[in-house]
Structure 1
């Protein structure tokens, strides 16, 4: 079995999520007390975006499950019944 980090698709997906998170954080800073586009501090914008992207990348590394179909993923169907509410110990009867 090869390491999950040896899979190029893992790094492509992680980079895609990090870039999207950077953009979302940058968009969020636009509305944080800024009244015009010329009042945006580009260094702070880049800093906030980079911190969010780093958090996304570290989350991808920390929570990446095993190979698809081996049951090692945290979202694996074997981890809980599909009709159970997380943490409730009861079955959902919706």
Structure 2
């Protein structure tokens, strides 16, 4: 269940690398392995210097397509599928 996946993420501890594709640019940031969705969203906004009023859409790659990364649950699934690596695609909404 939910608790168990959180616990296993925390057990992994340490930091993970997140690759961010934004337009033609690629950024990489290091974040705690057990980062929350909200914290990740903030870090990505900071790294990309997104202006305050602008909304961004975050996605991750699954199979042949991109899937919205819009919640804690999406983040957990993306991390589980990615084996602890995360690649995020960002665009303005």
- Which structure's residues are more often helix, by fraction? 1
Query: Rg: which structure is higher?
Result: 1
Q: Report the TM-score when normalising by structure 2.
A: 0.31
Structure number with the bigger relative contact order (C-alpha 8 A, sep ≥ 6) is 2
More strand by share: 2
Could you state the TM-score of these two structures normalised by the residue count of structure 1? 0.30
